[in-house]
Amino acid sequence: MLDLDLFPGEYAICRLPAGSTVPPALVEAAASAKPGQAVSVTWTPFETSVMCPAEFAPAAATVEPGWRCFRVNGPVNLALTGIVAAFSVPLAAARVNIFCFSTYDTDYLLVNSVRLSEAIAALTEAGHRLTGDLPQE
């Protein structure tokens, strides 16, 4: 059983060309992130990927807007196994596509906003506890 916190607002998943620098506005947004916000930048030889609140999406990027972000309440011990599987397996069974990334302390899960209610139902049915900016029923 995991404790997952749903952050407020929509997120964007973005792609910049390989070797791109991070736009200064995004660096500033990351530096001033508040609880309930996350910004992740990953550089590879093939691309620069950015996950951020939608309002900070780089203008020059290919942008996939409309995602919601859950944080696994941690820190999560790096020796533990199956954390990502614990949330990805029930979501796959519910046919909810995901984007996830990890930090030293924990894991983050993004689900498409249009499938948020299905994601919440699948995660709850799998025994996970959800808090945060959950939709009111």
Q: What is the pLDDT along the chain (137 residues), one digit of tens a residue?
A: 999 999 999 999 999 999 998 888 888 888 888 888 999 999 999 999 999 999 999 999 999 999 999 999 988 877 778 889 999 999 999 999 999 999 999 999 999 999 999 999 999 999 999 999 999 86
* Nearest Cα residue to 99 out of 73, 129, 67: 67
Rounded Cα distance between 13 and 108, Å, is 13
Q: DSSP per residue over 37-74, as a string?
A: ---EEEE-SSEEEEEEEGGG--TTSEEEEEEEEEEE-S
- pLDDT for the residue 118: 97
- pLDDT for the residue 137: 67
Q: What is the DSSP letter of 13?
A: E
- pLDDT for the residue 35: 83
Q: Can you give the pTM of this predicted structure? A: 0.91
- pLDDT for the residue 76: 82
Residue in the block written with tokens 């950015």: 50
- pLDDT for the residue 79: 76
